[in-house]
Chain A
């Protein structure tokens, strides 16, 4: 009796495990805000990952001798750190092999701890979170394919110093971790370039009345003004600066390098210099741009080329390791060297993208136009960069 039961159990087990062996569906997670104020950016991120996965499925990739089919499991993290950790736990429970996400730094940092705590840790690649802290936590499973905020400060400061050639610069921040951090990097770089910097002026992330600060700044007549903060405070700052008759060049970081500036500052926005981490979507490979447009009937908005690359990196690492087991393909991801839609991708020891690009934009007639790409400390004109990548694609 017992023996036959055991036998039955063994048979059932064998059958089940047999099924598992035949099953070839591999889950890959995507997490981004799909509702709320930046839902359009979240959808853009998800689309990038989805395109990569559909292409991989169409290519009928074989891993460990079997053809695999990838499934994208997409969750809405609402750009909220609390929801983000819940979503991360759901993805861990769904046994995803890797994660593309999240969008916001504030959400990605706590979520990364959840993926790191899974056993084995699940590799995650973000295509948009730029806060340095993310990769400073020492997690081996965390990667990013965009640049960091502390690469952005030097980039915009150097560009400002070399093009506008200011003698005296006023640096203002909004007293947040992001704004102050970025302003510090800018000040450091400017001082190193022998540009004089006025004592720091500060507002808060809710300041809309900058007149008192700007009047004081105007008294020292600087040639340029840098502000570390978001567009909601940067817009009024720029507008009030022009109203007070400040003629200096204004420059902002990526928090205020958005299309919103046109509405928030009106005509005063013209001539603004600002920086974004990474390259603008229209500078991604033509192959990617064409397939994206064909699949989703719209152009990518912001970070889709990066999440596309992130998903492809996961798949590529699995191919090279010949395994979908996170523990086995993670080492391959760490030493990967891959030609993606956003250029060559390799990771440094922290999981940051080596030689990440920064883009400098200017506002012309109400439109943000890319004017230069900065890579490994070298500044390339945007047109030349496009020409180069075009050539590379032809080769």
Chain B
């Protein structure tokens, strides 16, 4: 039983990270029906920028928490800038183009970002400085660390903040209006370009925080770390119903838990024919299963009535 609880804790932590990244995919898709495949790379850049800042500040003797806050504070604007530039340079000129064109540019941007990161931060795995002492707490036989608690708490806060932004503010209303019908939104005085750019920037800010959390959690940053994570988060977004904000949150957490339980129990269930290295496959099995049974995703009804 304590193993089951432990796997749940592992899964929820992983799922919280997926959910935050998935929000970036789903928000952009909700507004311009574009799958921004470069979003995973924005997460990676966030981790890398934070790595540089923490490495530079670690010897100064500042309090560790302050260093992490400064690093996150540097990663967020850096990622926002990349998110904005990406939208302005690669996607806006293709707004009216067939759907395939921006999809290809998205893949292109993702490759470019990876290689730029490789040139700046080298191709070696970077050890993320472990400046905060990790505290472990025991619940029954299971262990939860302070980092896991922080990740879950920050993710919940960010998701809550985003929900308030989307459903309770004027900007959120404008975003939803643009998602619903850009032309009509324009008629009532909403600048669609500005709203789309803002959506990218908000998504990138979330990605930056996710990057810092992932790298801090695993203690490692690498220029390819974004692609697999991005793909999983994309699955989470589709699982929950792409374009749907609460759906992305649910999808992320669900995916994390399924992966952890899957990797933990597949060996026992199949008599060790399949091993835990099939962990990454679960995301895609679940994705296919959900899409077959519910093509619009778990919370996908609202996608249907959007224009």
Contacts and interface: CB of A to CB of B under 8 A. Distances in A.
Contact of B127 (A206, A207, A243, A260): A260
Contacts of B6: 215, 218, 244
Contacts of A199: 267, 272, 275
A203 B275 CA distance: 9
5 nearest A-B residue pairs (beta carbon):
A263-B127, A202-B277, A212-B263, A232-B125, A211-B10
A211 B130 CA distance: 18
Nearest to A219: B3
Interface in A239-270: 239-240, 243-245, 260, 263-266
Nearest to B122: A37
Interface residues of A, number: 34
B272 A243 contact: no
Contact of B260 (A212, A239, A244, A263): A212
7 contacts: A37-B124, A208-B218, A213-B264, A213-B276, A216-B276, A231-B125, A236-B219
Given A209-B218, A219-B3, A244-B143, 20 more contacts: A201-B276, A203-B277, A206-B228, A207-B279, A209-B14, A211-B14, A212-B11, A216-B7, A218-B6, A232-B220, A232-B222, A235-B127, A239-B219, A244-B6, A245-B138, A263-B127, A263-B129, A264-B125, A264-B219, A266-B219
B225 interface: yes
B279 A212 contact: yes
A161 interface: no
Interface string B256-270: 000111111101000
A133 interface: no
Interface of B: 3, 6-7, 10-11, 13-14, 122-125, 127, 129-130, 134, 136, 138, 143, 145, 218-220, 222, 224-225, 228, 259-265, 267, 272, 275-277, 279-280
Interface of A: 36-37, 175, 199-204, 206-209, 211-213, 215-216, 218-219, 231-232, 235-236, 239-240, 243-245, 260, 263-266
B3 A208 contact: no
A239 B216 CA distance: 12
The binding surface of chain B is classed by DSSP as: helix
A235 to B, nearest CB: 7
A244 B129 CA distance: 20
Nearest to B124: A37
A204 to B, nearest CB: 6
A222 to B, nearest CB: 14
Contact of B3 (A37, A216, A265): A216
Contacts of B123: 36-37
A158 to B, nearest CB: 26
A68 B134 CA distance: 63
Contact of B219 (A36, A206, A211, A265): A265
Contacts of A213: 263-264, 276, 279
Nearest to B227: A206
Nearest to A173: B277
Nearest to A262: B127
Nearest to B259: A212
Nearest to A264: B127
In this complex, the member of B11, B13, B125, B259 whose beta carbon has the largest number of chain A beta carbons within 10 angstroms is B125
A236 B220 contact: yes
